[in-house]
């Protein structure tokens, strides 16, 4: 269905004026106004043809009205593209009632049942306007309701010339049936579209609450430990005058806690930026070995404490076309996990080779590995609980999810294979620089 709508250009039409700056609820209202304008254009063209064929009274004047209304509805679409949403909606709710008023006044009267549309247009502003614009909603609702009551109770049937199709009662009934069916179909379409997007808004709210809970959890648990350690050692240093060895030990602990806090915050910020679509990708030609060296320098103390040895097979001639910050974050997360889940005095192998237009980079350790259910969650990009490292290190469970999203943003890929107690192999691909 989506492919058909894309091919017909309808999805593009419905999204006229929808920008990333708009919230989901505001985007829905813009889409609905586009939908109403589009249906209005189609209906006015359709009825212009029908009126000529059926020989409706004053059809020349009615077709002129239709032409003006079509022009105004095109203006509505144009105003949405210029992000003048309020003016667009005000013009729309008044314009859609104009042809019905004239056709029920000077042409069909109450014979074609066109005044039924006023009932539909009375509820349209409830989905087009926000609650803050409630006075517009009330005004348009009362206006269309008054029009309907007038024609229903005080209107008179149209007068049709002999020899025209409309002179026959059966044809008039067909127009009336068409009016009723069209009204109900349009209302159903608006309500279905509105409910669909309400469902999207509810899911988005659940997702946002879920992210908020995750952020609070990280702040409460993963930052509390290292910050508490820093506070303890700083208190120890400032209260007493430690010996040189004790001072060095305390400073090393402070550095380790600061590095851990930095990594947690970096992961958290990257995750939040990506989830809120505020990550900017600046692609440029980069030297992989240099970015890898910087990542290893940051993690040097963490690796040295566990006696982890890195065997690197990366050529200095390997250049990639990527975002430097994103790539550094990916490498740092993968290496940090390799250190965390490797056994003390273990080895991590890093090697790279060009494959087609990509550089394939493999990170392999012989640590604790991962179970199949955890692998599936990682591959599907789902949340998972991060286990403790081999010496009790705690993770956020965000690292690999951040890696996957940042690689996708740069046109790269991520693959992981692992077996419990045998180790893990992570393979990423990044675009090669020309």
Residue 213 inside a domain? The answer is: no
**Average pLDDT of the chain?**
80
Predicted confidence (pLDDT) at residue 193 exceeds the cutoff of 50:
yes
- Worst-scoring range by mean pLDDT, 135-149, 189-203, 327-341, 364-378? 189-203
**Nearest-10 crossing angle of helices 324-341, 288-298:** 50
pLDDT class for 1, splitting at 50, 70, 90? very low
Predicted confidence (pLDDT) at residue 250 exceeds the cutoff of 50:
yes
Where is mean pLDDT largest: 83-92, 151-160, 176-185, 369-378? 83-92
Based on the domain organization, do 69 and 186 belong to the same domain? yes
Provide mean pLDDT across the span 146-175.
84
Residue 135 inside a domain? The answer is: yes
Identify the pLDDT of residue 54. 82
Residue 265 inside a domain? The answer is: yes
Contacts with 3 (C-beta within 8 Å, 6 or more apart), sequence order:
none
Q: Which of 261, 278, 295 is the last residue of a domain?
A: 278
Find the domain containing 403 and state its range.
281-434
Based on the domain organization, do 56 and 164 belong to the same domain? yes
Based on the domain organization, do 267 and 138 belong to the same domain? no
Residue 304 structure tokens: 């040295």
Based on the domain organization, do 96 and 227 belong to the same domain? no
Residue 421 inside a domain? The answer is: yes
CATH code at position 361: 3.30.565.10
Identify the pLDDT of residue 145. 92
Q: 141-144 — which CB contacts under 8 Å span 24+ positions?
A: 143/97, 144/97, 144/118, 144/119
Based on the domain organization, do 307 and 180 belong to the same domain? no
pLDDT class for 125, splitting at 50, 70, 90? confident
Predicted confidence (pLDDT) at residue 156 exceeds the cutoff of 70:
yes
Residue 153 inside a domain? The answer is: yes
Question: How far is it, in rounded angstroms, from Cα 175 to Cα 113?
Answer: 7
Based on the domain organization, do 363 and 405 belong to the same domain? yes
- Worst-scoring range by mean pLDDT, 51-55, 268-272, 330-334? 268-272
Overall residue count recorded for the chain in this entry:
434
Helices (H) and strands (E) in the chain, counts: 16, 7
Identify the pLDDT of residue 216. 65
Predicted confidence (pLDDT) at residue 157 exceeds the cutoff of 70:
yes
Q: 149-152 — which CB contacts under 8 Å span 24+ positions?
A: 151/104, 151/110, 151/115, 151/118, 152/110, 152/115
CB 264 within 8 A of CB 272: no
pLDDT class for 146, splitting at 50, 70, 90? very high
Based on the domain organization, do 297 and 267 belong to the same domain? no
Based on the domain organization, do 113 and 230 belong to the same domain? no
CB 118 within 8 A of CB 100: yes
Residue 212 inside a domain? The answer is: no
pLDDT class for 5, splitting at 50, 70, 90? very low
- Worst-scoring range by mean pLDDT, 180-189, 250-259, 296-305, 419-428? 250-259
Q: Which of 256, 278, 300 is the last residue of a domain?
A: 278
Based on the domain organization, do 199 and 119 belong to the same domain? yes
Residues 399-418: tens digit of each pLDDT: 777 788 788 888 888 888 88
Residue 155 inside a domain? The answer is: yes
Residue 20 inside a domain? The answer is: yes
Report the SS3 class of residue 209: helix
Contacts with 121 (C-beta within 8 Å, 6 or more apart), sequence order:
93, 96, 97, 100, 140, 144
Is pTM, for the whole model, over 0.85? no
Question: How far is it, in rounded angstroms, from Cα 302 to Cα 308?
Answer: 9
Provide mean pLDDT across the span 264-275.
66
Predicted confidence (pLDDT) at residue 229 exceeds the cutoff of 70:
no
pLDDT class for 387, splitting at 50, 70, 90? low
Q: Looking at per-residue confidence, does 246 or 354 come out higher? A: 354
Based on the domain organization, do 333 and 228 belong to the same domain? no
% of the chain exceeding 90 in pLDDT: 8
Q: Which of 161, 179, 207 is the last residue of a domain?
A: 207
Predicted confidence (pLDDT) at residue 191 exceeds the cutoff of 70:
yes
Based on the domain organization, do 263 and 386 belong to the same domain? no
Number of domains in the chain: 3
Predicted confidence (pLDDT) at residue 398 exceeds the cutoff of 50:
yes
Based on the domain organization, do 310 and 243 belong to the same domain? no
């Amino acid at each position: 269905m989506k492919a058909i709508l894309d091919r017909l250009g309808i999805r593009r039409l419905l999204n006229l004026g929808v920008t990333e700056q708009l919230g989901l609820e505001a985007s829905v209202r813009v889409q609905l106004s586009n939908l109403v304008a589009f249906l209005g254009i189609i209906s006015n063209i359709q009825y212009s043809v029908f009126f000529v064929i059926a020989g409706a009274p004053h059809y020349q004047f009615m077709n002129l009205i239709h032409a003006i209304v079509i022009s105004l509805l095109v203006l509505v679409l144009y105003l949405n593209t210029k992000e003048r949403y309020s003016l667009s909606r005000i013009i729309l709710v008044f314009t859609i009632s104009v042809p019905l008023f004239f056709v029920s006044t000077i042409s069909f009267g109450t014979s074609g049942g066109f005044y039924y549309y006023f009932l539909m247009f009375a509820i349209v502003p409830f989905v087009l306007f926000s609650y803050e614009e409630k006075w517009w909603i009330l005004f348009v609702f009362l206006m269309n309701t008054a029009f309907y009551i007038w024609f229903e109770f005080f209107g008179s049937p149209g007068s049709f010339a002999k020899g025209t199709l409309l002179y026959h009662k059966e044809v008039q009934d067909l127009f009336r049936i068409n009016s009723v069916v069209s009204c109900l179909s349009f209302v159903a379409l608006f309500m279905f579209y509105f409910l669909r997007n309400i469902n999207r808004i509810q899911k988005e709210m659940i997702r946002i609450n879920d992210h908020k809970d995750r952020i609070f959890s990280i702040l409460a648990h993963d930052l509390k430990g290292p910050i508490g350690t820093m506070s303890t050692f700083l208190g120890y240093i400032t209260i007493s005058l430690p010996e040189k060895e004790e001072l060095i030990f305390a400073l090393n602990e402070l550095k380790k806690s600061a590095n851990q806090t930095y990594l947690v915050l970096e992961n958290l910020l990257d995750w939040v930026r990506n989830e809120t679509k505020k990550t900017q990708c600046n692609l440029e030609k980069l030297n992989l070995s240099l970015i890898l060296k910087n990542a290893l320098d940051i993690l040097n103390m963490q690796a040295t404490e566990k006696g982890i040895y890195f065997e690197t097979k990366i050529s200095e001639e390997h250049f990639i076309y990527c975002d430097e910050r994103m790539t550094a974050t990916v490498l740092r997360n993968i290496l940090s996990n390799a250190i965390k889940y490797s056994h003390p005095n273990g080895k991590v192998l890093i090697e790279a080779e060009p494959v087609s237009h990509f550089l394939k980079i493999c990170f392999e350790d012989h640590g604790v590995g991962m179970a199949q259910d955890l692998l599936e969650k990682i591959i599907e990009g789902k949340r998972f609980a991060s286990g403790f490292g081999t010496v009790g290190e705690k993770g956020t469970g965000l690292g690999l999810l951040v890696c996957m999203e940042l690689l996708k943003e740069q046109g790269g890929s991520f693959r992981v294979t692992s077996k419990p107690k045998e180790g893990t192999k992570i393979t990423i691909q990044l675009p090669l620089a020309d």
